[in-house]
């Protein structure tokens, strides 16, 4: 799989294993089939994403940005929600097993728990 113009910062398989998400410093998240076929490109992290994760049901992805944001997307590239609250780069993200909470960690030495019930 090739298609990013800058280094890749995050990589994740969907829960069913049928889709791979890659997040790059070129400001995009790309969705791929395991055979390397590009499915979709999401372009909205102007400062570049740092991490990417699929929701447990595989219906959404979360990406973290070096611009201190966390974004939730539908797989078609529709932005669902942007979370702000960190003061430095978001270094990691993780969905809870039930998909109702997203945790984000930051270089600002904080962890924030985001309620996702209102984003669906």
> Is the pTM for the entire model greater than 0.95?
no
Q: Give pLDDT, residue 43.
A: 81
37: which 2 tokens?
């076929």
Query: Do the beta carbons of residue 16 and residue 30 sit within 8 Å?
Result: no
Q: Give pLDDT, residue 81.
A: 93
Strands, DSSP E only, in 14-78? 20-24, 28-32, 38-43, 49-54, 60-65, 69-74
Q: Give pLDDT, residue 28.
A: 82
Ordered domains of the chain (ranges, CATH): 8-119 (2.130.10.10)
> Cβ contacts of residue 16 below 8 Å, gap of 6+?
58
Strands, DSSP E only, in the chain? 8-13, 20-24, 28-32, 38-43, 49-54, 60-65, 69-74, 79-84, 90-95, 101-106, 111-115
Rounded Cα–Cα distance for residues 58 and 87 (Å): 29
Q: Give pLDDT, residue 29.
A: 87
Q: What is the mean pLDDT of each run of 10 residues along the chain (120 residues)?
A: 70 95 84 92 71 95 87 92 90 94 94 81
């Amino acid at each position: 799989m090739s298609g990013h113009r800058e280094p890749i910062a995050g990589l994740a398989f969907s829960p069913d294993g049928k889709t791979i998400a890659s997040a790059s410093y070129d400001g995009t998240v790309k969705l791929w089939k395991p055979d390397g076929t590009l499915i979709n490109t999401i372009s909205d992290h102007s400062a570049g994403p740092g991490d990417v994760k699929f929701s447990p049901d595989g219906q959404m992805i979360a990406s973290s940005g070096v611009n201190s944001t966390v974004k939730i997307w539908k797989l078609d590239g529709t932005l669902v929600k942007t979370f702000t609250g960190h003061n430095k780069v978001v270094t990691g993200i993780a969905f809870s097993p039930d998909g109702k909470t997203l945790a984000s960690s930051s270089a600002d030495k904080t962890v924030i728990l985001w309620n996702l019930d209102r984003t669906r």
